[in-house]
Amino acid sequence: MTTPIEYAVRNPATGELVESFPTATDAEVRAAVDAAAAAYATWGRTSALADRVALIRRVAELHRERQAELAAAMVEEMGKPLEDAEGEVDFSASIYEFYADNAERFLADEEIALGEGEGTAVVRRTPVGPLLGIMPWNFPVYQIARFAGPNLTTGNTIVLKHAPQCPRSAALQEQIFRDAGFPEGAYVNIYATNEQIADVIADPRIQGVSLTGSERAGAAVAEIAGRNLKKVVLELGGSDPFIVLSTDDLDATVDAAVFARMDNAGQVCNGGKRFIVLDELYDDFVSRFTEKVLAASESSPLSSATAADNLATQVEAAVAGGASLASKGERNGAFFPSGVLSGITTDNPAYQQELFGPVAMVFRASDEADAVRIANDTPYGLGSYVFSADPAQAQRVADQIEAGMVFVNGVGLDAAELPFGGIKRSGFGRELGRFGMEEFVNKKLIRTV
């Protein structure tokens, strides 16, 4: 017996139920896996790389041609500002183009120098088979691009389960792959339940799982995958530190910090969330930062009223635990007022949490070593930001940060060629760049005498 999930477009700005999509039956889920397995027999085993590259390039073109339709879906599904949604589609197209441009180089045979003996040895990168992707709601198009782009180009096939609140985005993207000319079953979208997904993971034909989502979801998927000896790539969010050590332009640093926190209404996995400032800069930074955060109170809602409820619970618990909150405006459905929390002690519940929304936490550090200590005192390890006018200091601190990514003196620097992923409870594995293409390939040794 499966537990129903509501796949529906519910506009978070109004609360209006716009459109519902039927949850897949067990037979439909089995048929999706059957189709992906059947497609792999030809797509993965016999198709030419040049043909796969041409189709991925066509996917990029179709994203740009259908930018307005995809962006409108994101606005209505999860409240993303239109300009941001359009930018997301364009970035996603660039990811597909990146893999089209670089696949031949990334997948080329790698010769191994032999220590002794005659003959040759090469590592040949080949696909592994059908994969399952489980995607979140905060970037409905970009998240799929960074999973589908490298893996379809490699020759794997994909079964895709999107977030229940993004069913229209899911359908539009499946149609793009069909219209681009991909064979039936190469990319299959399913509106599945959690129980059905557990069965898909366990299916011996599925060779790997990629999930972006919560710790709870990641742990559940990893447990099932582990029992069935399946590789997983997990990106589970973070509470990224934004460290301010010194600056030649405090206003510019504050502006970068505001963007790091407020982008996508604060719903970015690797957005700056904990702002750690040296003592001599703290008061001035926090004053300017708070003013600009409150002035930048989002005109767009969070992804849902439930998301706003969850953030409200966290903020209320933080204040009850002794933190001070500077805020502006009132909660209204999915619209959440921006705010800055200070005075957070190590025993405050917010200290170890990720706040997913337009609320920042600020911390005073006595010196560089203290800043590093606070930055690393978290169960997460996705991204981080280091701002310093001293290049040697910036690199020294970057080396000490326990995270998968460190951005020095800049924000919004994600790119198709840069690997994305974390450590600790932020997950493991990488997406994007050459490393994203390495996750689900068979690095097959061929030794010839």
Question: What does the pLDDT read at residue 283?
Answer: 98
Q: Are 441 and 119 in contact (CB under 8 A)?
A: no
Q: Are residues 188 and 312 in the same domain?
A: no
Q: pLDDT digits over 338-397, tens only?
A: 999 999 999 999 999 999 999 999 999 999 999 999 999 999 999 999 999 999 999 999
Query: Is it the case that residue 20 has pLDDT exceeding 60?
Result: yes
Q: Are 126 and 152 in contact (CB under 8 A)?
A: no
On whether residue 415 sits in a domain, the answer given is: no
Q: Are residues 175 and 273 in the same domain?
A: no
> Residue 255: which CATH number?
3.40.309.10
Q: Are residues 53 and 98 in the same domain?
A: yes
Question: What does the pLDDT read at residue 1?
Answer: 47
Q: pLDDT digits over 193-241, tens only?
A: 999 999 999 999 999 999 999 999 999 999 999 999 999 999 998 999 9
**Domain total of the chain:** 2
Question: What does the pLDDT read at residue 47?
Answer: 85
Question: What does the pLDDT read at residue 45?
Answer: 81
On whether residue 419 sits in a domain, the answer given is: no
On whether residue 281 sits in a domain, the answer given is: yes
Q: Which of 97, 174, 235, 368 is catalytic?
A: 235
Q: Are 30 and 196 in contact (CB under 8 A)?
A: no
Q: Are residues 230 and 272 in the same domain?
A: no
166 annotated active-site: no
Q: Are residues 374 and 361 in the same domain?
A: yes
Q: Are residues 252 and 164 in the same domain?
A: no
Q: Are residues 270 and 294 in the same domain?
A: yes
Q: Are residues 159 and 295 in the same domain?
A: no
> Residue 194: which CATH number?
3.40.605.10
Q: Are residues 288 and 367 in the same domain?
A: yes
Query: Is it the case that residue 2 has pLDDT exceeding 60?
Result: no
Q: Are 32 and 157 in contact (CB under 8 A)?
A: no
Average pLDDT over residues 289-305: 89
Q: What is the crossing angle of helices 49-65 and 67-78, to 10°?
A: 70
Q: Which of 174, 269, 431, 439 is catalytic?
A: 269
On whether residue 20 sits in a domain, the answer given is: yes
269 annotated active-site: yes
Q: Of 373, 418, 368, 374, whose CA–CA distance to 392 is shortest?
A: 368
Percentage of residues in the chain with pLDDT exceeding 70? 99
* Domain coverage including residue 50: 7-236+424-448
> How many whole angstroms separate alpha carbon 436 and alpha carbon 431?
4
Average pLDDT over residues 95-100: 98
Q: Are residues 232 and 295 in the same domain?
A: no
Query: Is it the case that residue 298 has pLDDT exceeding 70?
Result: no
